């Protein structure tokens, strides 16, 4: 290659991935945008009629599920953060030579399929399963007590399934922090708690942010946990979209819901980034 | 005090007193326990046994944030998410200093370390030398009784290091706070310190003023770690008021200050390379040696002209190899360097001979007396 073409080389490396994204992300997105604005039926065929009315219509029809998904995901993100932060902190600062083993344990659940893991939670939480059943037998719990089919079951399932997505970025962020900085803080009259709040926590914010996104975004669209662990009262928007697409063949409606979900997630992430401080991300 | 990590004794029954206002160096190779010693004084490492006093206060069990010591860490450990101002203000804020006072003191410190106007920079926008100054300001602003410095200049390049050595010394004399600093660089320790403790394997090998350590090392290790030494074993053949006579295995008689030799029949004598004078031996050179001079004949094995001086490696007939730094006072080029194989006579003053090994006399006059109460005592 002639010398003056050298500058092209880095861009050449972008081509395979770029083509991939074009074919499997950009094109489907445009197709879906078009589908959401079409009208018709499976029998008569669809035509692009720029039917923007489907958007407010869908919001009106599925507002509770929509809202529920966002709330569940916010709670799930908060819970994974609350459970995952101490975990990542301990592995990063106290893990010593067991660090890699502990990290392996964190990602070990990924070796089983998502559905299998969630199904096993159904067994664990079942009304007469070995946990609740035994607790009921010894009279610790009322016979009518149940977890399965409640929001608690769905939120627990989601929290469990997304915990590694929170722990790993947190670990990476915490691992990078020089323990000398904490020593320096305590040398400068900060108690252990103050050193954590003033030094460790702010420096781990990129991990908090990344982990929150990796948990929140897939959790909002999740259609497995509520399906398996929930009930009609816990239906999430992902399930609705899935049903509209695959069961009702209501493609424009499903596509419109999908786009609105995306818009809602983008808006919330934007607000969150402003709140956390987006410059933390790029540092 | 002693520090054990599992079975490893990092600091072995070390005892040390540092005087107020002193610039004190812990010098030694890596792994000698110098940093651990510093960390015990700062409270970052628990003391396995023994105690640390700051003035009259026993601080052995106090955490770092309750000790009147502050530390300049190796690689500085500046808070990357805070500005220079907030870095320096960190300690003051923790102690609830009023905002006005903080602004005042940070400004004063930035002036002291010659970085005014840098308040709003982040540490990653500073050069290594500037980060070093901020780290210094961040510790000093708290007005500690003792400032601990862990290899403070280790990350700087040579030129900057020399500059900061002078700076540190200036700042220390300006504010009068006791500095205890750890280094593996003997030249750095010699330039800056009032006193040096040379450490090895968790113990203090020798403690004293720089000149004293250099001119009269008391162990092989100190003789070799601070500068270069020529060491030769010899028998004590006799002594008078001022000098002891030492007989080398080849029969040559040399003299050393009598005070350095005490009892033991066999000792190790040493002399620094720059104290030796080289004279070329020709056929007409007489055998007579000035009575006040030590002399040793040998052959030049190797000569290298390095500008300010010429370094010779000279071998004596009984196989000792001596290094000589000959100042190029009269010579003006490599052409005047003595050739390999040239027979030479090395001469030096008997008082420049030091003695280490089994017999060690009392320290010569001028030894540092503790007149003030020790400030740090471990």
Q: For B3-220, which CATH class? A: alpha beta
**Cβ distance B106 to B44 under 8 Å?**
no
Nearest to A180 among B77, B90, B138 (CB): B77
pLDDT at A78: 97
CB A186 to CB B91 under 8 A? no
For chains A and B, count residue pairs whose Cβ atoms are closer than 8 Å. Answer: 58
pLDDT tens profile B273-328: 999 888 888 766 666 666 678 888 889 999 888 888 889 999 988 888 899 998 87
A197 touches chain B (CB under 8 A): no
CA quadruple B215, B216, B221, B225: dihedral, nearest 10 = -20
* Close Cβ partners of B296 (under 8 Å, ≥ 6 residues apart): B248, B252, B254, B316, B322, B345, B346, B347
Reduced to 3 DSSP states, what percent helix, strand and coil does chain A have, rounded to the nearest 5?
Answer: 80, 5, 20
A47 is a domain residue: no
| Section A141-158 average pLDDT | 91
Question: The domain containing residue A261 runs over which residues?
Answer: 62-282
The CATH number corresponding to B228-356 among 3.30.450.40, 2.40.33.10, 2.40.50.140, 3.20.20.70 equals: 2.40.50.140
Task: Please give, rounded to a whole number of angstroms, the shortest distance from the CA of B106 to a CA of chain A.
Answer: 14
CB B94 to CB A183 under 8 A? no
pLDDT tens profile A76-111: 999 999 999 999 999 999 988 999 999 999 999 888
CB B73 to CB A180 under 8 A? yes
pLDDT at B220: 86
A9 is a domain residue: no
In this prediction, residue B368 has a pLDDT band, given cuts at 50, 70 and 90, of very low
pLDDT at A275: 82
Q: How many domains does chain A have?
A: 1
Top pLDDT among B1 and B73 is at B73
Specify the domain boundaries for CATH 2.40.50.140 within chain B.
Answer: 228-356
* Cα-based angle A52, A55, A58 (whole degrees, multiple of 5): 140
A20 is a domain residue: no
Nearest to B142 among A188, A202, A283 (CB): A188
pLDDT tens profile B37-88: 999 999 999 888 888 999 888 999 999 999 999 999 988 999 999 999 999 9
Residue A161: alpha-carbon gap to chain centroid: 9
pLDDT at A77: 97
pLDDT tens profile B129-167: 899 999 999 999 999 999 999 998 887 888 888 888 888
Specify the domain boundaries for CATH 3.40.50.300 within chain B.
Answer: 3-220
Nearest to B65 among A181, A189, A283 (CB): A189
A198 touches chain B (CB under 8 A): yes
Burial class (CB in 10 A: 0-12, 13-18, 19+), B349: middle
A208 touches chain B (CB under 8 A): no
A179 touches chain B (CB under 8 A): no
pLDDT at A183: 93
Closest of B332, B339, B290, B270 to residue B307, by C-alpha = B332
A178 touches chain B (CB under 8 A): yes
Closest of A90, A244, A231, A242 to residue A170, by C-alpha = A90
In this prediction, residue B363 has a pLDDT band, given cuts at 50, 70 and 90, of very low
A279 touches chain B (CB under 8 A): no
* pLDDT above 60 (res B360): no
Task: Please give, rounded to a whole number of angstroms, the shortest distance from the CA of B59 to a CA of chain A.
Answer: 14
| Section B259-280 average pLDDT | 85
pLDDT tens profile A183-227: 999 999 999 999 999 999 999 999 999 999 999 999 999 999 999
In this prediction, residue B241 has a pLDDT band, given cuts at 50, 70 and 90, of confident
Q: Which chain A residue's Cα is nearest to B81? A: A203
Lowest mean pLDDT among B21-35, B260-274, B278-292, B317-331: B278-292
Q: Which chain B residue's Cα is nearest to A180? A: B77
A186 touches chain B (CB under 8 A): yes
Q: How much is the ipTM here?
A: 0.80
């Amino acid at each position: 290659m002639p010398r003056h073409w050298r500058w092209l080389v880095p861009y050449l490396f972008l081509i395979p991935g770029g083509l991939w994204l074009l074919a499997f992300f950009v094109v489907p997105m445009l197709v879906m945008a078009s589908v959401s604005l079409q009208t018709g039926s499976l029998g008569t065929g669809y035509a692009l009629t720029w039917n923007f009315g489907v958007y407010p219509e869908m919001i009106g029809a599925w507002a509770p599920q929509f809202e529920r998904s966002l709330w569940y995901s916010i709670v799930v993100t908060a819970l994974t953060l609350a459970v995952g932060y101490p975990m990542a902190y301990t592995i990063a600062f106290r893990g010593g030579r067991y660090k890699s083993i502990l990290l392996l344990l964190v990602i070990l659940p990924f070796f089983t399929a998502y559905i299998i893991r969630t199904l096993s939670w159904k067994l664990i939480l079942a009304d007469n399963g070995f946990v609740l059943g035994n607790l009921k037998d010894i009279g610790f719990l009322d016979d009518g007590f149940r977890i399965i089919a409640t929001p608690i079951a769905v939120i627990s399932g989601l929290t469990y399934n997304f915990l590694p997505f929170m722990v790993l970025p947190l670990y990476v962020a915490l691992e990078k922090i020089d323990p000398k900085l904490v020593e320096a803080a305590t040398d400068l009259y900060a108690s252990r708690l103050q050193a954590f709040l003033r030094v460790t926590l702010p420096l781990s914010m990129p991990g908090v942010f990344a982990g929150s996104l990796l948990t929140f975004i897939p959790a909002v669209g999740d259609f497995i946990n509520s399906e398996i662990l929930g009930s009609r009262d816990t239906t999430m928007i992902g399930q609705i979209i899935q049903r509209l697409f695959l069961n009702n063949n209501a493609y424009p409606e499903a596509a419109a819901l999908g786009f609105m979900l995306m818009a809602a997630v983008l808006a919330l992430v934007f607000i969150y980034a402003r709140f956390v401080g987006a410059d933390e991300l790029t540092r | 005090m002693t520090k054990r990590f599992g079975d490893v004794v990092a600091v072995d029954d070390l005892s040390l007193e540092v005087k107020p206002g002193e610039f004190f160096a812990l010098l030694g190779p890596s792994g000698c326990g110098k940093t651990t010693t510093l960390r015990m004084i700062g409270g970052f490492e628990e003391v396995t046994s023994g105690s640390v006093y700051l003035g009259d206060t026993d601080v052995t069990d106090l955490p770092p944030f309750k000790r009147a010591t502050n530390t300049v860490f190796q690689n500085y450990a500046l808070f990357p998410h805070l500005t220079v101002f907030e870095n320096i203000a960190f300690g003051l804020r923790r102690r609830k200093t009023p905002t006005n006072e903080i602004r005042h003191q940070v400004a004063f410190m930035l002036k002291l370390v010659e970085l005014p106007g840098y308040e709003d920079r982040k540490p990653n926008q500073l050069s290594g030398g500037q980060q070093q100054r901020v780290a210094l300001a961040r510790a000093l602003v708290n007005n500690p009784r003792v400032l601990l410095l862990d290899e403070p200049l280790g990350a700087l390049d040579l030129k900057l290091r020399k500059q900061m050595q002078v700076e540190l010394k200036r700042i220390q004399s300006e504010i009068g706070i006791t500095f205890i600093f750890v280094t593996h660089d003997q030249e750095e320790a010699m330039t800056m310190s009032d006193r040096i403790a040379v450490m090895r394997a968790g113990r203090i090998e020798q403690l004293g003023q720089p000149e004293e350590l250099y001119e009269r090392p008391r162990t092989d290790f100190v003789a070799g770690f601070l500068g270069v030494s020529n060491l030769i074993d010899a028998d004590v053949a006799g002594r008078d008021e001022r000098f002891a006579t030492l007989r080398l295995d080849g029969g040559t008689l040399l003299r050393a200050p009598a005070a350095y030799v005490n009892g033991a029949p066999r000792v190790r004598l040493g002399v620094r390379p720059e104290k030796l004078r080289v004279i070329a031996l020709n056929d007409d050179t007489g055998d007579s040696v000035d009575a006040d001079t030590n002399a040793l004949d040998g052959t030049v094995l190797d000569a290298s002209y390095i500008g300010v001086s010429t370094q010779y490696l000279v071998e004596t007939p009984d196989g000792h190899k001596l290094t000589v730094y000959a100042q190029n006072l009269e010579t003006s080029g490599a052409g005047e360097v003595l050739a390999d194989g040239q027979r030479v006579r090395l001469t030096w003053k008997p008082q420049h001979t030091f003695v280490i090994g089994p017999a060690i006399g009392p320290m010569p006059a001028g030894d540092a007396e503790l007149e003030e109460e020790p400030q740090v005592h471990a």
